[in-house]
Amino acid sequence: MPLNDIQDRIARACDDAGRAPDSVTLIAVSKVQPNARVEAVLEQGHRVFGENRVQEAAGKWPEFRERFDGIELHLIGPLQTNKTRQAFELFQAIHSVDRPKLAKTIARLAQEEGHCPDLFIQVNTGEEGQKAGVMPTDADDFIAECRRLDLPVRGLMCIPPVEEEPSLHFALLGKIAERNGLDGLSMGMSSDFERAIALGATHVRVGSAIFGERDYD
């Protein structure tokens, strides 16, 4: 689906929810996408992209940044502590802060570097054993810990279980954010971003609907 069609759908979803269209940031998820597809979206003027892996982003984006101004990168996949310094160099936001060890590493590097990406805490709303993220019952304490470390917590992120109604998880994430005074909600993907917008999403992560299906070969 062309980029402008996705942007139109976001605008309609915002209108239906009584929200301003600029209250939602579209993150074009470019992970495992051929460079030609990414370049085509850049040529259309879009500048906000999401990557899952630090190493892949490091091999792709420095060259694009030499050719296109204003690129904003969001790390939406898991971050290993030994990749944190490299992530600081590449990303303007990290959506997958999910454990105390990582939070402490980020805090230490923020002091060393004098800056820090915007941070989203990943919440495992489905309480899935194989999925990253803090459990909903632990979220308040972890948010408080991150704040004690003086981290710039922008909001929360979730990835609902594929077999469950995502709106239930979006609503849960919104409640956790509200009671902790956070206004950033990174939620909603290609199949459900309109439902996420209806429930307050500020960042939607759309990949296949923009770029087509990924090629993992």
* DSSP track, 159-200: ---TTS-HHHHHHHHHHHHHHTT--EEE---TTTHHHHHHTT
Using CA atoms, how far apart are residues 183 and 72, in angstroms rounded to an integer?
20
| Nearest by Cα to 134 from 149, 154, 156 | 156
> Closest Cα partner for 192 from 171, 211, 216, 215?
171
Pairing of strands 118-122, 153-157: parallel
**Residues 6 or more apart whose Cβ sits within 8 Å of residue 71:** 42, 47, 49, 61, 64, 65
Task: With beta carbons less than 8 A apart as the criterion, state whether 40 and 210 touch.
Answer: no
Q: What is the largest CA-CA distance in the chain?
A: 45
| Sequence spans of domains, the chain | 3-211
Q: What is the 3-state secondary structure (H, E, C) of 93-156?
A: EEEEECCHHHHHHHHHHHHHHCCCCEEEEEECCCCCCCCCCECHHHHHHHHHHHHHCCCCEEEE
pLDDT attached to residue 180: 98
Angle between helices 139-148 and 100-113 (to 10 degrees): 20
Architecture of domain 3-211: Alpha-Beta Barrel (3.20)
Predicted pLDDT at 139: 98
The per-residue pLDDT for 165 is 97
**pTM value > 0.85:** yes
pLDDT tens digit at each of 217 positions of the chain: 689 999 999 999 999 999 999 999 999 999 999 999 999 999 999 999 999 999 999 999 999 999 999 999 999 999 999 999 999 999 999 999 999 999 999 999 999 999 999 999 999 999 999 999 999 999 999 999 999 999 999 999 999 999 999 999 999 999 999 999 999 999 999 999 999 999 999 999 999 999 987 665 4
